[in-house]
Amino acid sequence: MFFAGHGLESSGNNYLIPCDFNEDSDLNYHAPTLDFIIDSFAKSFPNSAKLFILDACRNDGDKDFLDSLKSRGAGNFKAMNLGQVKPETNNNTLIAFATAPGMKASDGGVNSRNGLYTKHLIESMSQYNLSIEDVFRLVREQVIKDSDFKQIPWEHSSLLKSFSFDYYDVPCTLVDTITLPFDTLFSSQFIPGTKSIALVGNSNRFLIQTLNSYESSVNIIGEKSVHGEVVRVTDRYHLVGNSEGYLYCYDNLDNTVKSTKIFNSVFFAMSISTNCNEVVLCGDGGVLKNLSVDDLSVIFVKDTGINNVFSISHTVDGDSILLCGDNYELVVYDTKNHQLFKKLENDCFYSNTASFSPDGKLLATGHDGGIVKIWDRDNYKLLKTINLPKYIENIVSIIEIKKDAGKVPTNHIVSLCFTPDSNVLAIGTSDPSLVFVDVKYSQLIKEIKLDFSVSQIYSLSISDCGDYLVCSGHKRKAYVFSTNKAIKSDS
């Protein structure tokens, strides 16, 4: 509930005076007391936590308002003073005031959208993993600091349960593990509209695993020395690219498999078009190939000039693709004429992975040194840079890594994926850590440190409904994480 008006005290009661209150209004009838509102909520929601936040300025503006009401004959205000009185609190209730009894609160000035208290309240509420007590403690610290002790926020609480403002239910609870027919998971993707996931790794085995069941199937994708490097799936086709440059296409409709030699060596990058009719692949020194999914015939070949392409991503509308590589390469190609559309200004040496948000508005790219960049999809303008070392440990910069010229930089963002609502970015680091970030506020929601023996989270996939996440695990394992909502519904 939101109330706009003035908070005034009279005869020991806190009255909430609406903006349209006038001399014809009766104080006891038109302006409810805070106690009355709290009691009403207590009766209607006896078992719920109830929060009441009053940002009443009680400055000269309030006094002018009070004097104007008195001058217009509002007799009920004769004994009224500006102030704050502790209401009779009910169980499981918190009441927060912008300032302590007898003190004034800053309204932030003419050009300010919010007062000092509300400004810091919004900032504190946007942080994750904080209890309600921690939120108001942070607000109090900042308001006291900015007001030089002229304003001290105050709370009265009888809360019986823990409460936080965390509002995204992300798949961060480990609920299961998948036993893999290979040592390390390189690539995975949920099959659209199902709880089944396709997984490939450093083996010639291709695994389809259904979550919450024992259903699984394994296919062979080549000789024993051949690795499955990348997998992409539609509801009909499962495509696997291997370490010898072959592309395998499993057709679930007629239960057949086709294969063709695409490149002379391993390729890591593949993406299926939005209409699922074409597949784009890159390998062998940046050669881009566009194939028909139905018969694997080559539609187009293009030399991009990029030495190492690590990731290809189709835009949601399918009109272009993004290529991520080394040597600062981050480029967009038009899918109609296969011409270079735009080269993004990028100051990171490695661009290892990318993901377009499902709503089509944003692009996220993962880089060395724990850097994630968020771009505007329409004009590819950089909107913000999320520097994960601010939040998590053990990520070193590319400059530090380059001091040892013999080492390949490994502390990268190696995988990332938006949740279906486009609000949260799941990130796999090489520490390894699984990290969830609120995209709008660039706030860390959750970090999960994985087993130290896991070298990198090469693969990270989220189901269509956003309830499940699967990522690389420890020693022939893939980890399955779930939201609290999914856990409750499954149980």
AA letter at 119: K
- Choose the weakest-confidence range: 23-37, 139-153, 295-309, 379-393: 23-37
Phi, psi at 63, each rounded to 5°: -65, -40
Closest CA to 169 of 442, 446, 392: 446
Mean pLDDT (whole number) for 437-446: 90
pLDDT band with cut points at 50, 70 and 90 for residue 63: low
AA letter at 78: K
Q: Is residue 299's pLDDT more than 80?
A: yes
Contact present, 249 and 228 (Cβ < 8 Å): no
Mean pLDDT (whole number) for 459-483: 94
**% residues pLDDT > 70 (the chain):** 82
Mapped onto helix, strand or coil, the DSSP state of residue 35 is helix
* E-state strands within 315-389: 320-325, 330-334, 340-343, 351-356, 362-367, 371-376, 382-387
The pLDDT assigned to 395 comes to 45
- Choose the weakest-confidence range: 44-58, 237-251, 333-347: 44-58
Mean pLDDT (whole number) for 378-388: 94
Contact present, 422 and 437 (Cβ < 8 Å): no
Mean pLDDT (whole number) for 315-320: 94
Closest CA to 97 of 62, 131, 124, 58: 58
Per-residue pLDDT reduced to its tens digit, 22-62: 666 666 666 778 888 888 888 898 888 899 998 866 554 45
The pLDDT assigned to 148 comes to 93
Edge to edge, the sheet with strand 205-210 lists: 185-190, 196-201, 205-210, 216-220
Cα–Cα distance for residue pair 168/59, rounded to 1 Å:
37
Cα–Cα distance for residue pair 116/144, rounded to 1 Å:
10
DSSP element (H, E) containing 345: none
- Choose the weakest-confidence range: 48-57, 325-334, 450-459: 450-459
Q: Could you say which DSSP state residue 412 is in?
A: B
pLDDT band with cut points at 50, 70 and 90 for residue 480: very high
Neighbours of 78 (CB within 10 A): 8
The pLDDT assigned to 368 comes to 87
Q: Is residue 394's pLDDT more than 50?
A: no
In this structure, what token pair is assigned to residue 308? Answer: 């190492």
* pTM attached to this predicted model: 0.79
Closest CA to 198 of 154, 160, 164, 240: 240
